[in-house]
Amino acid sequence: MKASNFASLDPDLAARGVKGLSGASKADREIWAEARADMGRFAIESELARARVPTDLPPDDANTVPEGPTEVEVTRNERRVQSFFRAAVLAAYDDACAVTGLSVPTLLNAGHIIPWSVDTHRRADPSNGIALNALHDRAFDRGLITFDQSLRLVASSKLRASRTTTFQQRALLDFEGCRMRIPDRYPPDPEALRYHRDLVFLP
């Protein structure tokens, strides 16, 4: 119900003719305006709220006995907005790869167009993301594929320079020229894609 109230405030949905419910309160409008004004802070607060929700699910390694010392000191940086970003991007693409249509959740990534390390302001921005299967996401991150101004996949010459296997041909090169599927909400930002073509892609 609350999500439908927020839907009535979303200009992207309104442009598609989706009205949502008309019962959005003043508080709903204030929350919506605040979230739109600072997506990064909103994403962090969402992550913190999500972390406070208890879960009865055991960790994936609950039945695995680690080898070696029973304690080890670890220092790491954790991406606090990554879960929000992933959920928003995958939802926009209907939980399917923008290139292949693969819809196995565990094989899908929400990849940043402008890399995470480059622009802190774009880290939580879903329009700086594309839903890709794990292989195409890695190729995109490494500059081995990109998308042209018509949103068609372009393969790097480095993919052809290496020994081309049947799998490599079918999984990567055969998709060259295919147009990515564009979501109604959070379509990829053309300027972010231009950045990727100019500064990440390996021609």
Q: For the CA atoms of 100, 103, 105, 108, what is the dihedral angle to 10 degrees?
A: 10
Give bridge partners of residue 153 from the DSSP assignment.
147
Model pTM score = 0.64
- Residue 78: Cβ-neighbour burial (10 angstroms; 0-12, 13-18, 19+): exposed
| Residues 4-47: tens digit of each pLDDT | 556 677 776 666 676 767 777 776 777 767 776 666 656 655 65
Q: Residue 146's pLDDT band (boundaries 50, 70, 90)?
A: very high
3-state secondary structure of 1: coil
Contact between residue 99 and residue 171 where contact means Cβ atoms under 8 Å apart: no
Contact between residue 5 and residue 20 where contact means Cβ atoms under 8 Å apart: yes
